[in-house]
A = this chain, B = another copy of it.
């Protein structure tokens, strides 16, 4: 069976595969928690209890897209989810988007894969699908697809937070796809082909490239750095922590009557946060560390220890202040300051050229998976807006919330439980 590897262009119009980069054998299907990065051969199963791309070890690169559904036909929407499921399973397995392949088909037809990933291995690609509030009720309140009575109570537009400067073109969306991979060409290829397959049914509303991960989602991963130069993702809900995942990431069967189809899924909060890095760079090291609450070099809390040492918020510092300032980010957003709220953060650094002021249009594309945004995200974001010293250096320019259904079972399509 050759179809699964047609992305590699092995059939190359009948010609030899000579010169095709990476046209070697199939990669391994590893246990998500233990796959090692590097060679590009790692591969994550598309089907499973939960969607991949959540507890999967955070890959290095991201392409994220939000789509508007442009049809009013429920059948067309379901047909698209079926096509997307098949394409996603093929691509995450290292194959082409379509069953034929980029160059294996008839010359007088458009290829069913766009070809830029020929020769590239699976590269740890995961594709994670989500449903926005607009799928249940559009802006005018219309129930386009007969789904209104299944809208989970927490799936609604996020409140406007103080400091938000949202740009319409970067906000909202009826559907989303998060593509993460070790190779950006593979992530871009996946989104581009899903958009191509959806032509006439969906249109891309916005999309975001992330060039570098800012979190680790397994204990084995190194902690990367954000564009403020600090380690990011140290205190995260991780793949190994079943208790925290059950309490703060996976939606429970009884969480929501209307949203019972979402059991085993999660909510995905997406926030495009511009960082005023030029201003940040003029702050002293002590100021920067006080704002974050951690040492810039090691990532250890200012109360001491190593990166993973829990912060001691009570430890007194000089001049009557605690050593971790009262407005330090890690204090303000810490579970202990927010009734135990926790989230699985999975964001990415971005640079999108230049802003009007001659600075870099750069920042953090914040992604977090939570069991319920009302309890695990909104209060934390409100606390930040109210009293976080970091806020002075942030402008949130995009925002969206999606319900991410549970994993796709054999023979099923993405989000099938919502439509049955």
Chain A residues at the B interface, C-beta cutoff of 8 Å: 9, 11-13, 15-16, 18-22, 61, 63, 68, 102-103, 105-111, 113-119, 169-170, 183-185, 188, 191-192, 195-196, 199, 203-209, 211-212, 222-230, 277-278, 281-286, 288-289, 295-300, 306-308, 349, 351-354, 358-360, 362
Interface centre among A22, A114, A300 (most CB of B within 10 A): A114
Q: For the complex formed, measure the closest distance between the CB of A66 and the CB atoms of chain B, giving whole angstroms.
A: 9
Contact B21 A222 (CB under 8 A): yes
Q: DSSP class of A's interface residues: helix, strand, loop or mixed?
A: loop
Contact B227 A116 (CB under 8 A): yes
In the bound complex, what is the Cα–Cα distance between A183 and B349 (angstroms)?
Answer: 13
Contact A351 B15 (CB under 8 A): no
In the bound complex, what is the Cα–Cα distance between A208 and B360 (angstroms)?
Answer: 10
B residues in contact with A102, CB < 8 Å? 229, 296-297
Q: Which one, B209, B228, B362, contacts A353 given CB within 8 A?
A: B209
B residues in contact with A229, CB < 8 Å? 102, 111, 113-116, 118
> What are 9 A-to-B residue pairs whose CB atoms are below 8 Å?
A12-B297, A19-B222, A102-B229, A107-B285, A110-B282, A111-B285, A185-B225, A204-B354, A205-B354
B residues in contact with A207, CB < 8 Å? 351, 353-354, 360
Given contact pairs A15-B295, A15-B297, A211-B188, A115 touches B284 in the complex (Cβ within 8 A): no
Contact B21 A223 (CB under 8 A): yes
Contact A18 B306 (CB under 8 A): yes
Q: Which residue of B lies closest to A67 (CB)?
A: B358
B residues in contact with A353, CB < 8 Å? 170, 206-209, 352
Closest 8 CB pairs of A and B: A115-B229, A12-B297, A21-B222, A203-B358, A103-B297, A107-B286, A184-B211, A15-B298
B residues in contact with A106, CB < 8 Å? 285
